[in-house]
Amino acid sequence: MDNKNLAQKAISLLDLTDLTDTCDDAAIEALCKRARTFYGNTAAVCVWPRFVAKARECLKGTTIRVATVVNFPHGGEDLFVTLAETELALADGADEIDLVIPYHAFMEGRRGFAETMVERVRAAVPAPTKLKTILETGELKDPALIRAAADMAIDAGADFIKTSTGKVAVNATPEAAEIMMEAIAESGKAVGFKPAGGVRTLDDAGTYLAIAAKYMGSDWATPETFRFGASGVLDALLAEIKGETAKAGEGY
């Protein structure tokens, strides 16, 4: 696949994201406008829960999905608050829920607690709404712990496993992606993968798509099975398609 086709494919797999502290209605309007490009729409926009209804309004008449985050970004342990966030987001029209697992509890050996949260949120998220679980692999660090978290999330019913919040020092890495894709392949389940945080260039996108192809085949990555969580990469992808000087994007 040449670079222009790779860039266009990556756009179709993008969760265009604004999870900044300064986000407001005007920023959501701009985000939703950016999601509709001359070269195709992004798969989704990912926004704070309080902006789900606004994003839904802005994207009316398109196939772009609205994703939001719960238990974000710290992966807390209040199950009832997380369920309330989820239910409100669904009522406002969210198509996808990105749940941060309580990774501190998981690291401390309370893996059953983390599993229970995923299972309870899964039960609150009816199909076809997607549940994407954020493992925060840059904090888990240990490959064995990353694999255990991936296996847990898959077994608990996640539709996707996602590397990161984009809010910690180390976010998506190829090493974590390898571990997570291997877990998906070995599970035999229809589970997707989402690298998030630090995906800023076409080369970054190509690296993660190559890892997915290694485990699942070159045709596996579609919007139903693979997403990039990013805000800054879109400009670089568009520049590649238009033959302009590509700049590494900034942000999530």
Distance CA 34, CA 58 (A): 11
What is the CB neighbour count within 10 angstroms for residue 222?
13
163 φ/ψ angles, rounded to the nearest 5 degrees: -70, -50
Active site includes 98?
yes
In the beta sheet, which residues pair with residue 66? 45
What DSSP element (H or E) covers 28? helix 25-34
Residue in 115, 242, 74, 99 with CA at minimum distance from that of residue 160: 99
Residue in 73, 98, 93, 56 with CA at minimum distance from that of residue 21: 73
The residue annotated as part of the active site, out of 98, 130, 132, 204, is: 98
Distance CA 25, CA 195 (A): 26
Q: 223 Cβ partners below 8 Å, 6+ apart?
A: 12, 13, 43
Annotated catalytic sites, by residue? Answer: 98, 162, 194
